[in-house]
Amino acid sequence: MPNPLKPDRSVITTCAYCGVGCGFKAEMRAGKIVRMTPWKEGKANHGHSCIKGRFAYDYYNAPDRVRTPLIRASIDDPWTPVSWQEAFDYAASAFRRIQAKYGVKSLGAVSSSRCTNEEIFLVQKFARAVLGNNNIDNCARICHSPTQFGLTNTIGAGAASQHFDSILQADVIMVVGANPTEGHPVFGSLMKRRIRQGAKLIVIDPRKTETVESAHCKADVHLAIRPGTNVAILDSIAHVVVREKLYNEEFVRARCEVKEFENWKALVGSDKYTPEAIGPLAGVDPADIRKAARMYAGGPNSAIYYGLGVTEHSQGSTGVMCLGNLGLSCGMLGREGVGVNPLRGQGNVQGGSCLGSWPHVFSGYRFVTDYETRSSFEAEWGVPLDSEPGLRLPNMLDAAVAGSFKGMYIMGEDPVQSDPNQHHVIAAMKNMECVVLHDLFLNETSKYAHVFFPGSSSLEKDGTFTNAERRVSRVRKVIEPLAGYQDWEITVKFMNAMGYAVSYDNPGQVLDEIARLSPAYRGMSFALIDRIGSAQWPCDETAPEGTEILHRVKFPRANGLGAFMLTEYVPTAERTNDKYPLLLTTGRILSQYNVGTQTRRTPNSMWHPEDVLEINEQDAIARGVKDGDFVRVSSRFGQIELRAKISERVNPGIVYTTFHHAKSKSNAVTSDLSDWATNCPEYKVTAVDIVRAVMPVAEIPRAAEMPRVEEMETTE
């Protein structure tokens, strides 16, 4: 065999998968990408990588990639391929007609955390400046919106307080509702490195995840709580901190609002949150709650990392506040090795959050109702802007079902698959007159779309991503866009077709506009990032190369003090009963990414060809279910069929599945409850029952007969 062919050129760019945002070198030979290798100078990954970023990049070239714009008058018609200009004109005239008939607010837009900062910013500009309303939302609504709300109200900034490397100074690592070794693998490796060096590990998760126990990494305390009891368990940990006086009084007096601290102490210190009361409720040993509290408060450096297991609950925002309170009370903020850190799911969730893709705030979380902020945007954009907050995505869908909301521009999202209560979403989609979908592939949502803009993958465009540690890194164009335009160009041309004149020579100019309009990004530019590799916001005159650790001196609140929020535990309305005796919770697996649009088009599916239902042996035996059987999972909202896997990872009473495959339709069973503050759906708790299902032999896809990659479904 000859030697391997040597790449002749490489481009440094940023991985488009999870919130770690690894730096990669896209290596080329004769104009084709031949491999992706981790960049040793990448500040998020230091030369390491995972299966997704390193190997699963070939989806961009999948045969079913849409390469021409498509339009159709009705969702019952077949698609008609058209030129770009026809597609822009068609969508623009439909949108203008809808607004003329149903009013300015009958349209909205949704952007995605898979988009670059520049694209996210342009899509919200499209809604505000072109559609003339604030009906703009993004997919962080369904994952980390409670982070924004919960952290802003306690520590003042809805973002990770630390940089990833900070964990190497931590003595105690507390992981809550996250599974870094699967969901954020490169950060997971860093965490395990620190644990091998001797740091203690506390894991709060219903499931015995890979983070709980793997080679040379074992949790000192695993609180395997019943799904839905996060707030109770965190209040109970706080109870121990208060009753045993483990809090850092000096820090609280110097840095926090003392009166609120006293109020909080009175609440969590009350008898209803004793470990002995909460332990049985949450299904854990009270002694373990005490152990976890003492360990966390004892530090000396304790760091919290949390994920969607905290946010995707009806008390998601409260759960996040519990973590903020805990960090403040024990003084675990404002230096290396400590902090409260959300592990963001998608490559650019932090960017999606920062850049005003919300119905109520502009970039930097400044309210649309604020005259001064609005005026600065009006001056830059040259149009009057709506002062009334717009609709959130779930509200847009509700309004569509009700008949007042008639069209949507969706960039890089698949709400029919990823949003809760699928039946409701479909009803909303069917009720709209023009859905413009901008994506790489036809997907579940495209079945209800009228215009399809074929987008560009992250290998085909320029821009920036902001990772889970607030780090802004460059996405660089490696190859020409397969459908002709970079995504930012498509949005700009759509704006132009709608009659709004604007032009940019390159997305660096969009970042410049972001910098002019957003305090935390004031110092960001392509030039800065090209020079120093990446920079963490806030980046401005006082921190020209960015800020690694937040809250060193004060918290970004009006009075600079940390605030304690009252976090009373209110059980979710989603309860088990005789008919639905089990609790279903959901999660991710290493080889697949979210709804699988990218990874299912790569050989990664060899590791995870289908979503399976993990069930404890006790529950399985009671239902006559054997390992590998097909089971029907039914909830109050719908039913799905999955193959069962008997597993010790879940306790009796709890079942678990992933949501990577469209055909398993996990969201057809999830509830329509959502976070009280932000509408983030409660994906993590659904009461279900399981029965053995008999499937016709012909329909049972065995792993060995799974479609090969090249044959995989072309229209999902």
Partner 1 sequence: MWSELRGLKDKTDFGTPPRDGLPVTLEIDGVSVTVPAGSSVMFAAAAAGQAIPKLCATDMLEAFGSCRVCLVEIEGRNGYPASCTTPVVEGMKVRTQSETLRRLRRGVLELYLSDFPSSEIEGGWSEFHETLKAEGVTESRYGNGRNHFDATIDQSNPYFLFDPAKCIVCSRCVRACAEVQGTFALTITGRSFESKVAASQDQPFFESECVSCGACVQACPSHALIEKSLFEGEYRHAEPAKT
Contact (Cβ atoms closer than 8 angstroms) between residue 430 and residue 407: no
Q: Which of 35, 360, 557, 645 binds partner 1 (CB under 8 A)?
A: 35
- Write down the least CB distance from residue 15 to partner 1, Å: 12
Please give the residues from 191 up to 220 whose contact with partner 1 meets the rule CB under 8 A. Answer: 192-193, 196, 214-217
The one-letter amino acid at 506: N
Q: Which of 118, 257, 288, 336 binds partner 1 (CB under 8 A)?
A: 336
Is residue 591 part of the contact set for partner 1 (CB under 8 A)? yes
Contact (Cβ atoms closer than 8 angstroms) between residue 166 and residue 336: yes
Is residue 300 part of the contact set for partner 1 (CB under 8 A)? no
Candidates 36-44, 135-143, 352-360, 442-450: pick the segment binding partner 1 (CB under 8 A).
Answer: 36-44
Contact (Cβ atoms closer than 8 angstroms) between residue 325 and residue 567: yes
- Write down the least CB distance from residue 84 to partner 1, Å: 32
Give the C-alpha separation, 156 to 158, whole Å. 7
- Write down the least CB distance from residue 59 to partner 1, Å: 13
For residue 585, how many other CB atoms are within 10 A of its CB? 23
Report how far apart, in Å, the C-alpha atoms of 181 and of each of 199, 590, 619 are.
16, 8, 27
- Write down the least CB distance from residue 553 to partner 1, Å: 20
529 sits in which H/E element: helix 526-532
Q: Which of 9, 387, 566, 607 binds partner 1 (CB under 8 A)?
A: 607
- Write down the least CB distance from residue 529 to partner 1, Å: 16
- Write down the least CB distance from residue 669 to partner 1, Å: 29
Q: Which of 464, 466, 549 is nearest to 512 (CA)?
A: 464
Contact (Cβ atoms closer than 8 angstroms) between residue 217 and residue 189: no
| CB-nearer residue toward partner 1: 46 or 96 | 46
| CB-nearer residue toward partner 1: 38 or 279 | 38
Structure tokens at 487: 């995504």
Q: Which of 17, 39, 88, 362 binds partner 1 (CB under 8 A)?
A: 39
Structure tokens at 442: 């036809």
- Write down the least CB distance from residue 347 to partner 1, Å: 18
Is residue 40 part of the contact set for partner 1 (CB under 8 A)? yes
Please give the residues from 138 up to 167 whose contact with partner 1 meets the rule CB under 8 A. Answer: 165
| Tokens 């670059």 sit on residue | 116
Binding mask 401-420 for partner 1 (x = CB under 8 A): --------------------
Task: Write the DSSP string, 449-468.
Answer: -SEEEE---GGG--EEEE-T
The phi, psi pair for 456, rounded to 5°, reads: -115, 145
| Tokens 């790569």 sit on residue | 602
Is residue 171 part of the contact set for partner 1 (CB under 8 A)? no
Contact (Cβ atoms closer than 8 angstroms) between residue 564 and residue 159: no
| CB-nearer residue toward partner 1: 392 or 601 | 601
Using only C-alpha atoms, what is the Rg of the chain?
24
- Write down the least CB distance from residue 308 to partner 1, Å: 21
For residue 705, how many other CB atoms are within 10 A of its CB? 9
Give the C-alpha separation, 366 to 374, whole Å. 9
Instruction: Enumerate residues 6+ apart whose C-beta is below 8 A from 593.
Output: 17, 18, 52, 56, 599, 660
Give the C-alpha separation, 270 to 291, whole Å. 19
Give the C-alpha separation, 595 to 660, whole Å. 4
Q: Which of 61, 68, 80, 189 binds partner 1 (CB under 8 A)?
A: 189
**Count of residues near partner 1 by CB under 8 A:** 43
Is residue 168 part of the contact set for partner 1 (CB under 8 A)? yes
- Write down the least CB distance from residue 464 to partner 1, Å: 20
Is residue 532 part of the contact set for partner 1 (CB under 8 A)? no
Is residue 558 part of the contact set for partner 1 (CB under 8 A)? no
Instruction: Enumerate residues 6+ apart whose C-beta is below 8 A from 5.
Output: 29, 34
Candidates 38-46, 520-528, 669-677, 698-706: pick the segment binding partner 1 (CB under 8 A).
Answer: 38-46
Candidates 34-42, 275-283, 375-383, 671-679: pick the segment binding partner 1 (CB under 8 A).
Answer: 34-42
- Write down the least CB distance from residue 591 to partner 1, Å: 7
**Sites of contact with partner 1 (CB under 8 A):** 1-7, 25, 34-35, 37-41, 43, 46-51, 54-55, 165, 168-169, 185, 188-189, 192-193, 196, 214-217, 336, 590-591, 603, 606-607
